[in-house]
Amino acid sequence: MLKRNIDRPLPLIRIVLGAIFLIFALYHGVAAKAQETKRSTTDETSHAAREASPPGFTERFADVNGVRLHYLIGGKGSPVVLLHGYAETGHMWLPILPLLAQHHTVIVPDLRGAGGSSKPETGYTKKNMAADIHQLMDTLGLERVSMVGHDIGLMVAYAYAAQFPQATERLVLMDAFLPGIGNWKEVWLMRDLWHFHFYGEVPLALVKGRERTYFEHFWNDFAADPKHSVPESDRRLYAREYAQPGGMRAGFEYFKAFAQDAIDFEALAKTKLSMPVLVLTGEKASGTFLIEQARLVATDVKGVIITGSGHWLMEEAPNQVIPQLLTFLNAKGAGEATSLERLKPTEMGALPPGSFYTEPSNQAHFAETR
């Protein structure tokens, strides 16, 4: 009787245990799927950039200096590295890539914390971000490169050249400022540039889900004409990429690090740069300020103010900016590149409609694209 009473509930126990096992398996299956989705977030996010990549460029990733960097690479010749700024990614350089690739191996990373690159909690001083790029160059076997940086990217480019001068062929700084150099606090503490001090948990909460609204301030207010600033399609792309988990926090870290960047740059500036330096600034933005700063840290500086442009040089004035970059990066002595005596028909065709350019060495030749 006792044995029969014990045996009777066994089918129910088996059913209960089976249900528990099924729930356990389903839970771990969902969790595993979630982890797989999380791991693939970076690759999926960079899909838009991959679709927009010009012919001859490939998308890659590299694990360097504690961060996973996403980058594009293409072309052949002396290496040129293009570094984007805040509220953008490496996507900003797409218009110039076909032209540069005719004479150079072009590398276009997303900076630590941006785009398809990972978003660590720390490491956002510009010295360290320059170390990211230097280690990337090591993995590619590139010993000497030309660096081009816009906005935050120019700070990283300067930190690269100052820390690794023997590895830097030429340097281009495009519209922003250098923390710690000259009267830099006049910019850092400007009332209109409140975003330099906008970071922390409350700011993150305020911009969550409103990334596009926040970035409109930059794209519109820092342009000479908001209607001729960053294009709508690019705005959607950038807002989406910074809305990734950790994206806005990482962007705020760029600004939070300025105090330490100032200390670092003041020390680095004690040894002046000797490589050729081109400074491009917007007439309605940095003006002469960045040019004057560059002359405090380098001995061979050419400064060009882009007429009528605000901060977004590549978007607002490509007809002025692209020829300046091509002329400088293709000048004699720039690695393996040779100087351009005249743009080829294919190069002319790649310029935006209505573009004007002047040829090197102040030659009296002008051309307009149709």
366-368 vs 356-358, strand pairing mode: antiparallel
Element (H, E) at 67: strand 67-75
The pLDDT of residue 28: 42
Q: Which fold has domain 43-342?
A: Rossmann fold (3.40.50)
Contacts of 81 (CB under 8 A, 6+ apart): 106, 107, 108, 109, 133, 137, 145, 146, 147, 148, 157
The pLDDT of residue 349: 54
pLDDT, one tens digit per residue, over 212-269 is 999 999 999 999 999 999 999 999 999 999 999 999 999 999 999 999 999 999 999 9
Distance (Å, rounded) from C-alpha 161 to C-alpha 146?
A: 9
146 DSSP β-pair partners: 80
The pLDDT of residue 351: 52
pLDDT, one tens digit per residue, over 168-215 is 999 999 999 999 999 988 875 565 666 666 667 888 888 899 999 999
Percentage of the chain surpassing pLDDT 70? 72
The pLDDT of residue 32: 38
The pLDDT of residue 207: 86
Q: How confident is the model at residue 334 (pLDDT cuts 50, 70, 90)?
A: low
The phi and psi torsions of 330 (rounded to 5 degrees) equal -100, 10
Distance (Å, rounded) from C-alpha 68 to C-alpha 108?
A: 14
Cα separations in angstroms, 3 against 39, 215, 224: 54, 75, 90
pLDDT, one tens digit per residue, over 104-159 is 999 999 999 999 999 999 999 999 999 999 999 999 999 999 999 999 999 999 99
The pLDDT of residue 189: 57
Cα separations in angstroms, 13 against 2, 3, 5, 25: 18, 16, 14, 18
Distance (Å, rounded) from C-alpha 26 to C-alpha 292?
A: 63
Distance (Å, rounded) from C-alpha 294 to C-alpha 156?
A: 14
Task: Kindly tell me if the per-residue pLDDT of 66 is higher than 50.
Answer: yes
The pLDDT of residue 126: 98
CB-CB contact of 264 with 239 (8 Å)? no
Task: Kindly tell me if the per-residue pLDDT of 2 is higher than 50.
Answer: no
The pLDDT of residue 225: 96
The rounded mean pLDDT for the chain is: 82
